[in-house]
Amino acid sequence: WTARGLTAGGVYGRIRALTLPTPGRFFLRDLTRHSVLFPLRARVHHADADTLGEQLRLVSIPAPPLGEAERGAWVLERFRAIGLADVRADEAGNVVGTWAADGADGAPVVVAAHLDTVFPAGTEVTPRHEGKRIYAPGITDNCRGLAGMLAIARVLAESGPAAQRPVVFAATVGEEGIGDLRGVKHLFRENSPLRQAAAFVALDGSGMRRIVHRAIGSRRLRVEVTGPGGHSWSDRGAANPIVALGAAAAEIGTLARPEPQRSALTVARMAGGSSVNAIPESAWMELDMRSEVADALARMEESVRGVLVRAVDEENGSRRMGTEPLRLKVTVIGDRPSGETPAGPPRVRAAMDITGSLGSPPELVGSSTDANVPMALGIPSIAMGVGGDSGGIHTLDEWYSNDGGALGVERGLLVVLVAAGA
């Protein structure tokens, strides 16, 4: 510790000096007076190599979209080895375990990290070391979050600090892309006791500054247009699905977005047809709508659906008499709610103060994470990285560097302790 410069007069001295004068707010001074705190934080740094080792083990276990079971089974065994209680895999595939101090009986705090990656089955995931960087698809997103969660659970289980609330640790499925947050949606499904959670903390990726307190919601549509098709010459005049979708895409690109600084609308993919000398029988398109404002998604979707109906009607109106009309089908393939945890209340304020006390200026941001679901339900929720540096996220050249990694785990531990009423 002394060799790393983490002496009582260094990091801890800065933390001890920081207080908030406003009555009713969280005081870091109170947290640092706990006699158990220094040993807990020291344990995080002493175990830094073990945390990185678990991160490397995790990334070597593939977890493609809808295929997280093998990695989940490994995390389940780690939860048991750590000593968490009620360890299980639920119906959705989430892996859950609970830590509770003696006498803890309040509403639980949920700490989550997602198991899945964006990479398809068969992707090479063997880590490659180049200097301080470790390259592997998924090494940061989200093997860093999973490793950080395991490190925090281990410290709590081994050290047994006093806390008012139990902590439920959850390795979730389906956070990325087509997963559509299915794991965390299951955790907070109707009538789930977790709907009464006191707080939710998602550990996602690397870094020390960002604190996600705004949930960017999304609505994703798959549009399919089908028709009779035919030969490009002998069946000329038949309605063309690609022409209809092309016209719709062009108009969608000009739509005014509600709350333009907080919303986005993207025509993401389009395809159709079978031959250069044939009128297509079908064509499809996928769209992604995002916003931090809940009702903006509904307004964008209404506008998009209106454009689609008009484009198909116009193409049908120009078809040769006696030919079949085009048919339109719109399917919702993604639905992530929007929400916000205000920056003023203690949960976000404490995360900001802890981040600053560890030497990183906090940055409040919006993103789409597992925190979307509990945030939309009104549960105080944030998402944050777990230290270190990274790049190439969601690419085959994704990398992680463990500079400052232990500080990120320490930040996560302190935030969880505050939420748990330590």
Q: What is the pLDDT of residues 60-77, one digit of tens each?
A: 999 999 999 999 999 999
Residue 394's contacts (CB-CB under 8 Å, 6 or more residues apart) are 118, 141
Backbone φ and ψ of 213, nearest 5°: -125, 0
Query: Distance (Å, rounded) from C-alpha 79 to C-alpha 69?
Result: 15
Mean pLDDT value across residues 368-394: 97
Final residue of a structural domain among 334, 360, 386: 334
Instruction: Say yes or no: 208 and 222 in one domain.
Output: no
Pairing of β 282-291 and β 217-226: antiparallel
In a domain, residue 324? The reply is yes
Instruction: Kindly report, residue by residue over 267-314, the tens digit of the pLDDT.
Output: 999 999 999 999 999 999 999 999 998 789 999 999 999 999 999 999
- Both 222 and 311 in a single domain? yes
Give the rounded percent of residues in the chain with a pLDDT score beyond 70: 91
| Tens-digit pLDDT profile for residues 75-133 | 999 999 999 999 999 999 999 999 998 888 889 999 999 999 999 999 999 999 999 99
The domain boundary residue, chosen from 294, 318, 334:
334
Give the DSSP H or E segment for 89: strand 85-89
Query: Rounded CA gap, 261 and 34, in Å?
Result: 44
Do residues 366 and 353 touch, judged by C-beta distance below 8 A?
no
Q: What is residue 242's predicted lDDT score, i.e. its pLDDT?
A: 98
Which residues span the domain enclosing 313?
217-334
pLDDT of residue 8 exceeding 50 = no
Domain finish residue from 318, 334, 350: 334
Predicted local distance difference test score (pLDDT) of residue 31:
54
| Pair (159, 264) in one structural domain | no
Q: Domain of 73: which CATH number?
A: 3.40.630.10
Q: Let me know whether 321 and 365 are in one domain.
A: no
Question: How many C-beta atoms surround the C-beta of residue 330 within 10 A?
Answer: 16
Q: Is 3 within the bounds of a domain? A: no
Q: In whole angstroms, give the CA distance from residue 339 to residue 337.
A: 7
Kindly report, residue by residue over 306-345, the tens digit of the pLDDT: 999 999 999 999 999 999 999 999 999 999 999 999 987 7
Q: How confident is the model at residue 34 (pLDDT cuts 50, 70, 90)?
A: low
